[in-house]
């Protein structure tokens, strides 16, 4: 078995590659085919814990995790062999085949690409041997001519796999025909030949007004426009890179406003997607104290650079906003890096993240460890007090990705100031009951947690994936999706 490769390229970041890849995975899986997703290199702080070689667990980008589920496949590290997790504007932690690479992380990007290419192609070829179709996602734009010689995620992969490529553009931004033509024109002739169709995404209005643009573009390039996809805000798939837009209000009158602190290195923000669909819940992405005004909850999410994001929090005055909210009895939740910030101190003796005083809302101390914790976790909350009491006795499952190890602050514990450990080694609550910190990612993806907190549920992932495939199939020219996987 050698899988046919279908590849989704974009004229820009945010054009719609990830959700289109997910939709294709579900479409081909519904045809009875064995399907796997693949992205050679992903740059994202949204990661999931998946199976790795020899039973070890590792990390891949969240987008490939969801694409695997859409394909009815077990998510695993070969589907995203290289993951870059930005820690600063010019520095990323490099995760190769699911594991942090201390050798590759400090290496210049251009030097790194050749070193990782054998692992990337080996992962792709192994998936091709085991599947009928591999749906590949590109990154950014394939026409970044300054990066083309070192490319390992777009056209080099397309050439290697002889992939049948779709090029998608965001028409809502304007200039869609120029983006499509310019991208095609900047590619070498052998790479242009791999592009089998253009896709106009996020269109609003009367599609007949597009004429004669698609035909003129085909006359120039020989490539047909195979789909015009209407704007669709509520497809239900988590955002991959950016925070959600203002359309974060579910149906019904607002009963609970949740302010999530949107610091620069926010991680695993996709875990909040289900809250968008809970009736009566409004999400606010807070970058200033004013954004927290009137919130029922303030959530401190995960962070890939905890100490740097904590400094940013203080620079914005958000530390005071969180403290005042907590002092008035408002609910505060810290997840992973957010939990670490809620403590008294962050201690780094290994040069991993840095040292800093915490916010002092939980009597805990976090020490950063070179060994990264990456695992799936099942747990049960013990009795909780205050606004989090609804979670008492609730069983939940999620995942952990963290360098920090958190425990009671020794000096404070000696004076009797201790946090209530509501999940051993994973979650703590203050004496007043309104501040909760937890290492477990994925709480709001657990129907048991949503039901306990809100008496509601969110759409299942299965319904989201089927909706994506239905939407795509209804707007693509007849026969195009089948033609992409036919033998030459």
Q: In the annotation, is 336 catalytic?
A: yes
Q: Of 5, 336, 402, 438, which residue is the catalytic one?
A: 336
Q: What is the 3-state secondary structure (H, E, C) of the chain?
A: CCCEEEEEEECCCCCCHHHHHHHHHHHHHHCCCCEEEECCEEECCCEEEEECHHHCEEEEEHHHHHHHHHCCCCCEHHHCCEEEEEEECCEEEEEECCEECCCCCCCCHHHHHHHHHHHHHHHHHHHHHHCCEEEEECCCCCCCCCCHHHCCCCHHHHHHHCCEEEEEEEHHHCCHHHHHHHHHHHCCHHHHCCEEEEEEEEECCCHHHHCCHHHHHHHHHCCCEEEEEECCCCCCCCCCCCCCCCCCECCCCCCEEEEEECCCCEECHHHHHHHHHCCCEEEEEECCHHHHCCCCEEEECEECCHHHHHHHHHHCCHHHHHHHHHHCCCEEEEECHHHHHHCCEEECCCCCCCCEECCCCCCEEEEEEEEEEEEEEEEECCCCCHHHHHHCCCEEEEEEEEEEEEEECHHHHHCCCCCEEEECCCEEECCCCCEEEECCECHHHCHHHHHHHHCCCCCCHHHHHHHHHHHHHHHECCCHHHHHCCCC
Q: In the annotation, is 235 catalytic?
A: no
Q: Of 179, 325, 441, 475, which residue is the catalytic one?
A: 441
Residues 6+ apart with CB under 8 A from 291: 259, 284, 285
Report the interhelical angle of 62-70 vs 461-475 (nearest 10°): 80
Q: Which residues are catalytic?
A: 336, 441
């Amino acid at each position: 078995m050698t899988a046919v490769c279908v590849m989704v390229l974009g004229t820009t970041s945010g054009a719609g590659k990830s959700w289109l890849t997910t939709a294709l995975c579900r479409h081909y899986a519904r045809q009875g085919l064995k399907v796997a997703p693949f992205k050679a290199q992903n740059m994202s702080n949204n990661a999931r814990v998946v199976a790795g070689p020899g039973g070890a667990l590792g990390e891949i980008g969240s987008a490939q995790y969801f694409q695997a589920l859409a394909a009815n496949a077990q998510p695993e590290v070969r589907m995203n062999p290289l993951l870059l997790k930005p820690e600063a504007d010019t520095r990323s932690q490099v995760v190769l085949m699911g594991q942090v690479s201390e050798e590759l992380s400090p290496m210049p990007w251009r030097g790194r690409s050749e070193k990782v290419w054998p692992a990337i192609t080996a992962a792709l070829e192994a998936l091709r041997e085991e599947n009928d179709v591999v749906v590949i996602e590109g990154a950014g734009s394939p026409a970044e001519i300054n990066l083309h010689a070192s490319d390992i995620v777009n056209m080099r992969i397309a050439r290697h796999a002889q992939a049948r490529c779709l090029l998608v553009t965001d028409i809502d931004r304007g200039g869609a025909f120029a983006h499509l033509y310019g991208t095609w024109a900047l590619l070498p002739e052998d790479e242009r030949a791999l592009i089998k169709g253009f896709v106009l995404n996020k269109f609003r209005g009367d599609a007949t007004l597009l004429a004669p643009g698609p035909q003129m573009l085909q006359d120039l390039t020989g490539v047909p426009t195979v789909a015009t996809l209407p704007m669709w805000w509520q497809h239900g798939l988590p955002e991959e890179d950016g925070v959600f837009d203002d359309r974060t209000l579910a149906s019904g009158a607002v009963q609970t406003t949740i302010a999530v602190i949107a610091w620069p290195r926010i991680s695993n923000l996709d875990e909040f997607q289900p809250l968008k669909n809970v009736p009566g819940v409004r999400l606010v992405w807070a970058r200033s104290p004013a954004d927290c005004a009137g919130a029922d909850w303030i959530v401190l999410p995960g962070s890939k650079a905890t100490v740097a994001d904590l400094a940013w929090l203080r620079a914005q005055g958000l530390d005071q906003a969180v403290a005042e909210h907590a002092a008035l009895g408002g609910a505060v939740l810290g997840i992973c890096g957010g939990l670490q910030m809620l403590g008294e101190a962050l201690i780094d003796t290994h040069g991993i993240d840095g040292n800093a005083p915490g916010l002092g809302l939980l009597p805990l101390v976090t020490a950063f460890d070179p060994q990264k914790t990456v695992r799936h976790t099942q747990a049960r909350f013990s009795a909780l007090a205050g606004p989090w009491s609804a979670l008492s006795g609730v069983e939940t499952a999620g995942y952990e990705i963290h360098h920090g190890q958190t425990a009671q602050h020794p000096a404070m514990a000696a004076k009797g100031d201790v946090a209530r450990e509501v999940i051993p080694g994973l979650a703590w609550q203050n004496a007043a009951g309104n501040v909760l910190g937890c290492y477990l990612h994925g709480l709001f993806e657990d129907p048991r947690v949503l039901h306990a907190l809100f008496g509601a549920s969110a759409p299942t992932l299965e319904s989201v994936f089927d909706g994506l495939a239905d939407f795509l199939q209804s707007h693509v020219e007849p026969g195009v999706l089948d033609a992409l996987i036919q033998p030459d």
